[in-house]
Amino acid sequence: MPLYIQIVQGRSPFDTSLAMMPFNLTVFVTATLIIRFYKRFSPRTIGMFSFVLTTAALVWLAFVVTNDWETLPTIAGLIVFGVGQGALVTLVFNVLVTSAPKELAGDVGSIRGTTQNLASAVGTAVAGAMLVTILGLNIAQSVANDVEIPESVVAEVDLDDVNFVSNDQLREVLSETSASPAVVDAAVQINTDARLRALKTGLLILAGISAVAILPASRLPAYKPDEIPDPSPE
């Protein structure tokens, strides 16, 4: 989402930070406070509930997100998603640490941090490739159905290599073609709508992945802190 806001919508880093502030603050607060619930709920319960929250938030965002990130429904979705992710961040670390002998706690923390960084990089790359593919399909379909854009202009643009671009970049590219101002405006509108549809579709796909993750979360430990078995060998 930050990449979409800053690169695709062309917002400044400061505006991007403000747009993502509800999510980032919620993750921080939840990751700090979730420990208070460990005495009442098992890791399995917290993990499954957290994935339910992230799934619901992604589905909600897929329907309410617009090009304006300051709307109340969007902020509410980001907050709910932040609660789910913040709980998972602390939960996974604690489960890993308590499942290993005390002398290996440092190694577990290092491996966990490295794995999280790798997962973030791979996840971003996969999600980016998925969104670009969806965007290409959306634009190809919209251009084919739009009567305002003549085939002569379409032939001057390479639709086989479609990527996320800002409206200003698109206007600059079309200024080098035979497109009239009216055609340029129509193409910019297609680009804006196709980008948003790609984002919404991507959020729905991620919601599906989050829902599937509830199954492995159901295999998390069901014990509470005062019931944690000693992992040290006898």
pLDDT per position as a tens digit, 66-97: 877 888 999 999 999 999 999 988 887 777 77
What one-character DSSP code corresponds to residue 226? G
Q: What's the rounded Cα separation, in Å, for the pair 192 and 173?
A: 15
Flag whether 111 is in a domain: no
Angle subtended by helix axes 43-64 and 72-98, to nearest 10? 160
Flag whether 150 is in a domain: yes
Domain of residue 182 covers 2-104+117-227
Flag whether 51 is in a domain: yes
Residue 156: the pLDDT is: 61
Flag whether 23 is in a domain: yes
Residue 231: the pLDDT is: 47
Token pair belonging to 199: 């984002």
**142-184: per-residue pLDDT in tens?**
766 665 666 666 666 655 556 666 777 777 777 777 777 887 7
Flag whether 42 is in a domain: yes
Mean pLDDT, rounded, of the chain: 80
Q: What's the rounded Cα separation, in Å, for the pair 198 and 158?
A: 19
Flag whether 232 is in a domain: no
Flag whether 233 is in a domain: no
Do the beta carbons of residue 90 and residue 77 sit within 8 Å? Answer: no
Q: How far is CA 217 from the centre of its chain?
A: 19
Number of domains making up the chain = 1
Q: Which residues of 112-142 are buried (b: 16+ CB within 10 A; e: fewer)?
A: eeeeeeeeeeeeeeebeeebbebbbebbeeb
Domain of 38, CATH number, reads 1.20.1250
Angle subtended by helix axes 13-33 and 72-98, to nearest 10? 50
* Range 223-226, long-range pairs (CB < 8 A, 24+ positions): 223/42, 223/43, 224/38, 224/39, 224/40, 224/41, 224/42, 225/38, 225/39, 226/39
Residue with tokens 């890791």: 43
pTM over 0.85: no
